[in-house]
Amino acid sequence: MSVEARERRQPWILLSPALGAVTLLLLVPLAFIVVYSFWLRSAVGADTPGFHLDNWQRALTDPFFRYILLNTLKIAAITTVICALLGYPAAYFIARSRGNKLILLLLLMLPFWISYIIRTMSWINILGSSGALNTALMSVGVISEPIRMLYNEGTVILGLVHFLLPFMVLNIYVSLEGIDTNLEDAATSLGATRWQAFLQVTLPLSLPGLAAGGLLCFVLGAGTYITPLILGGPRDAMFANLVFEAIITQLNWPMGSALSLLLLMVLGVLVAIYNRYLGMSQLTKGLG
């Protein structure tokens, strides 16, 4: 074998374990889901194999699915904006702090050591009728009866922010860390105030990190189903809850497959747009 041929083969040989894993664990199951989405659910018993567009037609034209999908995107967008507003100052503080960065980063990572479900459920003990907040307010006489704070869209967003904020902070932090602080000093030496230097130098340079954090928060938020299940009221549901119900409760795997692929495609389009304008490399930087 020639040296050139060997060099051409080498990357593929090195990549083959990863490609094998991706094929077996991602592409093959995805192919099964695609095939399933064209099957039909029978009223009772096994599904009907074949190539039917009924599930897709319903998923794309039914106003119920459209409503839940739009509501899911709305909740994910609100969550992302709140994460950005809360996460930027925190990331800026960590990036510009001296000496204790490691401790601050460790504190940021601490929530990941506790199960996401436990973290979500902790809000019940904080916001519940006999939770910490109501008990405290009643004990100081601010209120005479517990305020109803749980089980609505607001608590769903709160739970999502709690879950996703560290992802946003980390991405912005990585971006801010890469900015030369001399640039801000140069701007101030040329007459800009600190605020102007931040707005016109630091903020634009950190936008890729903000966008990467935004994308992560949005995609993870739009795909969640645990948070609305635990903190939502009777009407509060996100698109992933419909997938869960179709597959687990209704045993309608074909419809559940079509719905999960629809969500995948919608989020895929968003990722593609992001990649077109900012590139995926920023995302991997934030994760790294």
Partner 1 sequence: MDNTKRYERLLERYRNGDLERRSFLGLLGAAGLAYGVQTPFARMARAQDVTQVRFDGWGGVVSEAFRRHAFDPYTAATGIDVVDGTFAGGDEYLAQVRSSREGEYNIAHLSGVFDYARYVNFGLDVELNTDNIPNMELVMDALTAAYRRITPDHLSAVPYNYGTTGLAYNRAHISDEEIREKGAAILIDPAHEGRIGGWSDWRTRMWYAALQTGQNPNDIEDMEAAWDAIRSHRDLALKYWGSGAELMSLLAEGEIHVTEGWSGRIAALQEQGYDIGYYDPPNGFGWQECLFVIKGSPVEACEELLNFMLAPETSIAVAEGQNYPPALDGTKVDLGEKIPTLPAYDPTGTLDALTFADPTYWNGNEAEWSETFARVQRGF
Binding site for partner 1 (CB under 8 A): 41, 43-46, 64, 67-68, 124, 128-130, 148, 150-151, 229, 233-235, 237, 242, 245-252
Cβ proximity to partner 1, 150 vs 165, nearer residue: 150
Cβ proximity to partner 1, 177 vs 245, nearer residue: 245
Q: Nearest Cα to 55, choosing from 34, 26, 79?
A: 34
Cβ proximity to partner 1, 144 vs 182, nearer residue: 144
Q: How far apart are CA 44 and CA 129, in angstroms?
A: 42
Q: How far apart are CA 150 and CA 123, in angstroms?
A: 8
Cβ proximity to partner 1, 151 vs 218, nearer residue: 151
Q: How far apart are CA 108 and CA 119, in angstroms?
A: 14
Least distance in Å: CB of 248 to partner 1?
5
Please report, for residues 15, 23, 97, 137, the alpha-carbon distance to residue 222 in angstroms, rounded to integers and kept in the order given.
31, 25, 33, 34
Dihedral angle of Cα 43, 70, 124, 148, to the nearest 10 degrees: -110
Cβ proximity to partner 1, 250 vs 281, nearer residue: 250
Cβ proximity to partner 1, 40 vs 78, nearer residue: 40
Q: Nearest Cα to 279, choosing from 271, 287, 267, 269?
A: 271
Tokens of 146: 């517990």
Dihedral angle of Cα 94, 271, 252, 157, to the nearest 10 degrees: 30
Please return the burial class of 234, using the count of CB atoms within 10 Å of its CB with bins 0-12, 13-18 and 19+.
exposed
Least distance in Å: CB of 241 to partner 1?
9
Please return the burial class of 281, using the count of CB atoms within 10 Å of its CB with bins 0-12, 13-18 and 19+.
exposed
Least distance in Å: CB of 229 to partner 1?
7
Least distance in Å: CB of 252 to partner 1?
7
Cβ proximity to partner 1, 65 vs 88, nearer residue: 65
Least distance in Å: CB of 93 to partner 1?
37
Cβ proximity to partner 1, 152 vs 188, nearer residue: 152
Least distance in Å: CB of 171 to partner 1?
33
Q: Give the largest Cα separation in the chain, rounded.
A: 85
Least distance in Å: CB of 111 to partner 1?
23
For 189, residues 6+ apart whose C-beta sits below 8 A from its C-beta are: none
Least distance in Å: CB of 150 to partner 1?
7
